[in-house]
Every structure is written in structure tokens, then in C-alpha cells.
Amino acid sequence: AGGGDIVTLESYEDFELAWEWRIPKGANNGVKYLVRSARNGAIGHEYQMIDDSTVGSPKGKTAAFYDVLPRQGGSAPRLAPESNHSRILVRGRHVEHWLNGEQVLAYELDSPALRAAVASSKFRSVSRFGAKTAGPILLTDHTDEASFRNLRIRRLSPETRRPFVADPHQEFEAAQEAERRGDFDTALEHYENLFDAAQLPARFATRALLHRKLGELRRKVPANTAPGRAGEWRVKAYAF
């Protein structure tokens, strides 16, 4: 707490970001994306991370597009010592927020519906807010305690239309095949996709077992510090 925002050196326009996080009771944090450097105060779209019991507005709860769009469905986040798994997908004009294996929000950039939502928000006077832009990813500092680990990001081609989550049994078979041939990076991607499946294969009775498997594979995949190419994960791991 109190260390300041953490900001990527590179900018991202079409990307998929996945991370694990936890906060204690009463805490508030978030991840910002599509941040325009020309704006004062690092204004961007914020994936809210908060103890939901502390806010009344649905637009201020976890996985909402902060103050603009509420999450649709899903459960309240787990509080420490338990952790959460989140994803943000931006591809073309399409944006998705995921929380603990469920897609809880989807919207289209610069659409009439989004422009109307922005007009009713605190960002109504921010020029071009809600339009597509390239910008850094920002882990916010709200002075509350917050822990992050296993942050993974990959650039996407705007034309990519691969389903975000494939059939879980096909994902599991593809993961096993990649692991057998020693392609741990590909295996890790398939297991990551499994995490967002509504129903896990019998091999993983709980997501805790899948977490353990992901941890084993991440230790076999070195962090990639070169500039990311389309479709390539960049991995950074932090321990709670």
C-alpha cells in the first residue's frame, strides 16, 4: 500500500490480460486499460476490484467497468485469504470482463449504448472516453492492501475470432498432448482456458487442483521479457 500505481512500459490495444489477486475486507483497487497518456490522472477504463459489501452502486462493484457499466451476474469476489482470477479481453471494438471463470460483462467500444452509459458517468466530460485507443495497463494504488500474482498478457490481432473458451474436454486433451511433447507454454495456455470453463473435466474436481497444475507448469515456462508478438503470452509471476 502507498507505493504508487504500477504501469506497463508498453502500450496495448488488442490484448488478453489474465491475473490472480486478493484484497482484505474493506479494500479497494483496480486495473486500468485503454489509458490515454494525454489525459491527466491516468484516466482509462477500470476493471474494478473491491470488497462489494462497501459499495451500493452496481457500477462500483468488482468486475464492473467502473462508474460506467455494472457486471452482469457472477458472484461477489472472495476476500483474503482466498484469491480471485480475472481476465480482460479487448479485440477490435469488443471488450469482455471475466471473474472467477465467468464472463460477467461484455460491451462494444464507441457504441451508442456505451456512449449513453459514459454520458451518465463521472467521465462524461472526458474527450473520446469509451473509444478505441492504445495505452498502457495500470495496476492502481488506492492506498489499500492488494496482492497480485501470475499476471499474463498477450497481444491479439483485431481479426482474431478464436473462441475465448473452447470445449473443456478438448482443451484438456490438447493440454495433455502439449505437455507430453514438452511444449509447456502451449499446455499452459490450454489449462488457462480451462480455468474459465463453466464445468471442469473430472480430472480437476476443484479449481484449487487446477491452480496447482497451473503453478507446476508456470515453473517450467520462463518469463518472456521480449516485446510481445500477436498471440504470445508474456508471463510475470508474483507470490502472495
Grade residue 77 by pLDDT with cuts at 50, 70 and 90: very high
> Residue 227 phi/psi, 5° resolution?
-55, 135
DSSP string, 155-171: E--TT----SS--HHHH
| Whether residue 81 has a cis bond before it, omega within 30° of 0 | yes
**Residue 227 pLDDT exceeds 50:** no
Grid cell, residue 120, equals 451518465
Residue whose entry in the numeric block shows the C-alpha cell 495497463: 137
**Residue 94 pLDDT exceeds 50:** yes
Grade residue 104 by pLDDT with cuts at 50, 70 and 90: very high
Which sign, positive or negative, has the C-alpha torsion 51, 153, 16, 206? negative
Per-residue pLDDT of 53-76, as tens digits, reads 999 999 999 999 999 999 998 889
Grid cell, residue 40, equals 491527466
The distance of Cα 112 from the centroid of its chain, to the nearest Å, equals: 24
Sheet with 147-155, strands from edge to edge, namely 102-108, 94-99, 84-91, 15-22, 147-155, 233-236
In this prediction the pTM is: 0.70
Beta strand extents in the chain (DSSP E only): 6-7, 15-22, 28-33, 45-50, 84-91, 94-99, 102-108, 138-139, 147-155, 233-236
DSSP state of 129: T
